[in-house]
Structure 1
């Protein structure tokens, strides 16, 4: 029986909470609450209950949410390796593309899969916290593992950062031919704004369509965006932060842009500008 995860609090519980919920705020709450008890079993129960409550609240909110829903990113300066939040996204399991895939799982499937397969928690212990049988936990975890295996498998962080750097340079120079060579034919653009900023309210699919959108934005706002955009770490990998101090509905509105890279190609663009999704990150406090 593995209880190691729940014999510690921060920063391990912070990582568990974030992987379970996709919320920085919820993860911080889980870590704080877990740190208030010295009993690993009690800590597990508290973690599961808090995660279930957070995921159920998200399910309700999604019903009236405008546009795509993405997990909250953890955005840090490139040299923030000692920040506790950096440890929460260490390794491949909390990369944004993986966190996006986790959003497709039901709450109990996500909890069973993440705790059993990602943190080595015994199915019987999870069962006690979820008030279901260990067999059901294993079935749910197996289902989650199968679904996750069929989703995007991101490249290594080193390869990711190299492709992103090439893509950003090409976009900045207006070299759309080079950018097109880096884009997967089924490149998907997802904008999470909840209608607060002017963004697409549904997925945009296809490299030609996405690149046309990016070209239009750069033609109109390129010089300003270049001036007010800088590299940051988004869930441990290179991404972009744009903040021109503008709060109107404009591409210059505060936002973070993350890319998913697989097979050496950019397969997804995640554009997050909903202020509610950025409050859990120190750069936006």
Structure 2
């Protein structure tokens, strides 16, 4: 085994971790893979013999790459003004494989990723690296061009926003599925009252139909409004085939029409009620995701 093969093997041992960092930073599976690949290129061009902590070094490299990608993204006004649902991680209802589990560990649901999208790039970096991966502020500071105390303040601001806006899902998947099934059954029956029973009064529904579609982003607040929208959706659901799934580790649904993915729904359930419904219905993006359910 030559030196390059040895280094590649060491890098592969960290790939899953690095992809999890990049996914939390970017909310895009394809961009996360690009960031990890860029980290490998930088490692292969560096003097790796002088790197004492390869895992920590790679984590900060991926953080820097993602920060640059976020800054580029937000500098494009046509993108920064368009709301976009992060890529979902979809798996069969009976469980996640190890790679998927690493991606969505620590309740990294779509509702949390939506909140992370609202942070500035430097706030997101400080929060993700410190709060999710325990990177010291002394190592984060050079990435954001601030002092360690200033980096700590970035993470603190992000933390307050996350705690105030990102609901923590109930851990019991069986209970989650029962609530989702009750919601679906009430929708099919057209039972407005039963829908209200499973919806939190402050529930939010977000639907991403794609930037090319007029009215591509929909956001609806309040149980009565979301229940009304669910009854409207029911009229278009007759042709769809629905399958239970895990979406970012929580109860969800994958709808297909004539065998093609039509939408992915994620339900965040807290204290036995639905507090968030996130729907990706952008057909082009759905075609690019791995939605294998077998």
Per the shorter chain, which TM-score range?
Answer: 0.7 to 0.9
How many residue pairs match? The answer is: 270
Q: Where does residue 35 of structure 2 map in the other structure?
A: 30
C-alpha distance 18-279 of structure 1, shift in aligned 2 (>3 A): farther
| Residue 212 (str. 1) matches residue 228 (str. 2) | yes
Paired residues for 1:65-84 under 5 Å: 68-79=83-94, 81-82=96-97, 84=99
- Which residue number corresponds to residue 238 of structure 1? 251
Match of 1:270 among 253, 259, 278: 278
Give CA deviations for 1:50-104 in whole Å, capped at 9, x if unaligned: 2112222432456357863221111122345325233211231x11111111112
- Could you tell me which runs of 5 or more consecutive residues in structure 2 were left unpaired when the two chains were aligned: 1-10
- Structure 1 residues 86, 282: closer, same or farther in 2, change over 3 A? farther
2: CA distance, partners of 1:66 / 1:128? 29
Larger radius of gyration, structure 1 or 2?
A: 2
What CA distance in whole angstroms lies between the structure 2 residues aligned with 1:217 and 1:153?
24
Once the 2 structures are TM-superposed, how far is the Cα of residue 105 of structure 1 from its aligned partner?
0.9
Q: Is 1:132 paired with 2:140?
A: no
CA distance in 2, matches of 1:261, 1:33: 37
CA 1:202–1:273: 2 relative to 1, 3 Å: closer
CA contact (8 A) 1:62 1:69 kept: no
1:120 shift after superposition: 0.6
Give the conservation status (yes or no) of the 8 Å contact 1:67–1:200.
no
Structure 1 position 100 matched with structure 2 position 108:
no
From 8, 17, 26, the equivalent of 1:12 is 17
What's the counterpart of residue 266 of structure 2? Answer: 258
**Distance 1:233-1:127 versus aligned 2 partners, 3 A rule:** same
SS state at 1:240 partner: strand
**Aligned alpha-carbon RMSD (Å):** 2.8
Residue in 1 that maps onto 2:200: 184
Partner of 1:283, secondary structure, is coil
Question: Which deviates further from its counterpart, 208-217 or 35-44?
Answer: 35-44
What is the rounded CA distance, in whole Å, between the counterparts of 2:90 and 2:269 in structure 1? Answer: 18
How far off is 1:176 after superposition?
3.0
Structure 1 residue 153 displacement after superposition: 2.2
Shifted more, 35-44 versus 236-245: the winner is 35-44
- 1:132 and 1:51 mapped to 2: Cα distance? 17
Query: 1:17 & 1:120 partners in 2: Cα distance?
Result: 15
